[in-house]
């Protein structure tokens, strides 16, 4: 027994309209248990985010921040990391105005070190943790991530949202492309939220 053309059309229309309804019913039922495979972030997610009390220049207000914690000196690896941050800022394209790179020194930044960092990229915001409030918060972030991930990693680079919450952390040997990709997703998401 074959179906006539009208019957086939009627079944097609029914499937077109009732298919999504049936799919929604199945997805909301206990039969379908969808769990996302995991987050897409490449850095260590800080959950819950940690607020960072830090006196920053006015030009960083309302911007996403990449914060790099400097040691007292800047060795070859530090110079590579800082140079990578310059490239990330340049590669941000149209989002560049929504992003600032902050280099956080310990108590004060040596004039020679400051001069060397400014020669790498004049747009760096180089500040000192003179009140010693930011470093303990970053150490708390590091300890929490190490406890949760069972990794002994030292984090030097952080992404902060415009409200100064640390949301992602990256180890000293992280791939700069990971930071760039995570930041790109965050800035794209931020654009969509602001529309």
Cβ neighbours for 141, distance < 8 A, ≥ 6 positions apart: 46, 50, 155, 158, 166, 169
Cα distance between residue 30 and residue 28, in whole Å: 7
Alpha-carbon Rg for the chain, nearest whole angstrom, is 24
| pLDDT at position 148 | 53
Report the C-alpha gap between 156 and 71 in whole angstroms. 9
Domain ranges of the chain: 1-34, 44-193
Whole-number Å distance between alpha carbons of 111 and 116: 9
Q: What is the pLDDT of residue 85?
A: 93
State residue 63's pLDDT score. Answer: 93
Report helix, strand or coil for 44. Answer: strand
| Torsion, Cα of 71, 72, 77, 83 (10° steps) | 90
Q: What is the pLDDT of residue 181?
A: 92
> CATH top-level class for 44-193?
alpha beta
Torsion 45-43-187-123 (CA) sign: positive
List strands edge to edge, sheet with 155-160: 44-51, 165-171, 155-160, 64-69, 99-105, 125-128
Q: Which residues of the chain have pLDDT under 50?
A: 150
């Amino acid at each position: 027994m074959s179906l006539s053309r009208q019957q086939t059309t009627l079944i097609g229309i029914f499937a077109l309209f009732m298919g999504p309804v049936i799919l929604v019913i199945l997805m909301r039922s206990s039969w379908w248990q969808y769990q996302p495979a995991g987050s897409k972030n490449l850095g260590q997610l800080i959950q819950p985010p940690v607020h960072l009390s830090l006196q920053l220049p006015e030009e960083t207000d309302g911007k996403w921040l990449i914060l790099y914690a400097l040691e007292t000196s800047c060795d070859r690896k530090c110079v590579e990391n800082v140079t990578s941050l310059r490239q990330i800022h340049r590669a941000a394209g149209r989002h560049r105005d929504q992003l600032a790179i902050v280099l956080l020194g310990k108590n004060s930044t040596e004039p020679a070190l400051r001069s060397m960092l400014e020669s790498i990229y004049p747009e760096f915001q180089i500040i000192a943790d003179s009140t010693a409030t930011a470093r303990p918060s970053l150490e708390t972030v590091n300890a929490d991530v190490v406890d949760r991930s069972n990794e002994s990693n030292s984090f030097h680079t952080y992404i902060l949202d415009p409200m100064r919450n640390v949301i992602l952390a990256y180890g000293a040997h992280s791939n700069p492309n990971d930071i760039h990709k995570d930041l790109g997703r965050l800035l794209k998401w931020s654009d969509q939220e602001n529309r």
